[in-house]
Structure 1
Amino acid sequence: MQKIWKRIFYPPAKINLTLEVVGKRADGYHLLRTVMLKLPKLRDRLVLMISSVSKMEIILKSNQKSIPLDEKNTCYRATQLFLEKINQKAKVEITLTKKIPFGAGLGGGSSDAAMTLLGLSQFFRKSLSKEQLISLASDVGKDVPFFLEEKEAALMTGLGDKREKSWSFKERFFVLVVKPPENVSTALAYGGLAEKMWFLKKKQRFNWSASLANKSVQKKSEIILSNSLYNDFEITIERQLPIIKEIKQSLLAFGAEGALMSGSGSTVFGIFSSLPKLERVQKIFKKHYSNFFVARGR
């Protein structure tokens, strides 16, 4: 009987505490500065089963019908690229139970791909170096390398795939994520930047990401964050979806230390200094925004 290697992973969501568009390459890709934070309380479940066979076979299953189960899926692509890179054949079966909202700017697909790569690396006894694995992760998706980091937060540059610094915050704080039913087109989000935001090209711009990273070693994390949250996309996306501004204002009105849209939307998060305060606001939001996704992320 063929021996099957099985592992269970819990890919976490992420939020962007800062997101700055600082340039554009000749190939059209945008250069970014961003601080990302993992949300271990909001996570998918990924079951990975691998067996050695004479040909490559990738089987993907999911509880979410809207998730592609072929090459369009990040886990599928990660598996395919990994096996091709190490010139190995295997039967890989991935069962994905989605809890992270799809297309929400929370990095669910990237996190799933990162855990798939981690599992494959374990099975094949680290046949790729850490640098090779990170490079492969970047080929799958630009957020994927972040999820291979051991620490909970990181300052990322380049296309969002180059780590400058990683850390874990000294003090606990709590994050509530709120996602309206509408999704935001990433292409439209970037298109709006060119039209609406003249200050993107100014070299004198403040470096929000580096500022937050430098402050991260200090205490009172939630206060530091409330003064350091920044997202270039907010001004354009709020014009498309006014509900985003309403959610932000509501979170602040109920005591969040800070609130921001994550990524290019449409998820908004609030930072709280205590769990009881977050849970109280969570109950209010679930009643008022009954068709929204509302959950604790950290």
Structure 2
Amino acid sequence: MKKLDIDARGKINLTLDVLFKRLDGYHEVEMIMQTIALKDIISIELLSRRDIVLNTNCKKLPQDESNLAYQAAELMMKEYELDAGVSIDIHKNIPLAAGLAGGSSDAAAVIIGINELFELKIPKDELMTLGERIGADVPFCILGKTAFARGIGEQLTPLKSLSGLSILLVKPPYCISTKEVYNRLDVKNIKIRPDTKAMIDYIEHQDIDKIASGLCNVLEEVTIRLYPELGDIKKRMLEKGALGSVMSGSGPSVFGIFENIRDAKRAADDFAGTDNWIFVTKTE
């Protein structure tokens, strides 16, 4: 095999709780993460020379060592002493810095793709441990589906698959720094926290109404204070029939869960004509 395509799917957070700031500077979190059908396409081709070549259709995406996909390829080459290189082409569909793990998903796809392309036969759990060295969301993006995450997001417990939910995503035309949001978060005075244990039970019983009503992200306290329009987006989604709505990650993407794809598309029409990026998708 000399070339293959890998889907790099985005994620949303059904819950996100921040427990405390750790001595290493990171924050201890508990969250439930969910893969969605929105995806980048990563094409990886074998090179005879030991090199990494990265191209993309997105002008704002770096094509050097600062790109997580590049870092993932470099790590795989060093870790497993590969004697050849790869050309990576990223067809970007997931918006940048949107709280949807686009960069982490690209890195995960490169790790998976190189494992397959070089026939390394490295087990998934080892790839996930390796991915943690790139970023906290990379292990989940390798695992996929529905999972409960702890630590900095790298300690994962798979949950019952929550596939097929109709999702409307709305992202305003700006990016938000995850680091800034966490730095501004007053962990000791968080007003509303998710009931993570209850959400896990709702997922086990596939109770969509309760899942939707249990959506909660403590980072909203920071991000919506900085960008009040995100609260307006949540309100409009609920007015247009969303069963529940919440911000994903540190934002600025907001998503709503709808009863069916038709209702999600109808709600999407209400956001047409704005500067927002709008996408209707499903959980996977």
Q: TM-score, normalised by structure 1?
A: 0.90
1:256 aligns with 2:253: no
Q: Which of 254, 258, 279 is equivalent to 1:272?
A: 258
1:216 pairs with 2:194: no
What are the ranges of 5 or more consecutive residues in structure 2 without an aligned counterpart? none
Task: Give CA deviations for 1:49-92 in whole Å, capped at 9, x if unaligned.
Answer: 114x3x52000000111111111111100000011111112120
Letter in 2 for 1:154: A
- For 1:47, the equivalent position in structure 2 comes to 43
Structure 2 length as normaliser, TM-score? 0.94
Structure 1 position 199 matched with structure 2 position 186: no
Q: How much has 1:113 moved relative to structure 2?
A: 0.7
**Aligned residue in 2 for 1:104:** 98
Give the 3 Å change call, closer, same or farther, for CA 296–207 of structure 1 in structure 2. closer
Q: Does 1:126 align with 2:111?
A: no
Q: Which of the residues 197, 222, 226 maps onto 1:236?
A: 222
The reply on whether 1:176 has 2:176 as its aligned counterpart is no
Runs (4+) of structure 1 exceeding 4 A deviation are none
Partner of 1:189: 181
Matched AA of 1:49: E
1:59–1:272 distance in 2 versus 1, CA, 3 Å: same
- In structure 2, distance between residues paired with 1:207 and 1:179: 23
Give the distance between the partners of 2:206 and 2:82, measured in 1 at CA: 48
Q: Aligned pair 1:139/2:136, yes or no?
A: no
Kept in 1, the 8 Å contact 2:3–2:117? The answer is: no
Q: 1:265 to 1:47 in 2, by over 3 A?
A: same
- How far, CA to CA, are the matches of 1:136 and 1:285 in structure 2? 40
Give the aligned residue type for 2:46. I
Deviation at 1:166, TM superposition (A): 2.9
Q: 8 Å contact 1:155–1:210 — kept in the other structure?
A: no
Q: Per-residue CA shift, 1:235-279, capped at 9, x if unaligned? A: 111110011000000000111000001101100001101111111
Deviation at 1:147, TM superposition (A): 1.3
The equivalent of 2:143 in structure 1 is 149
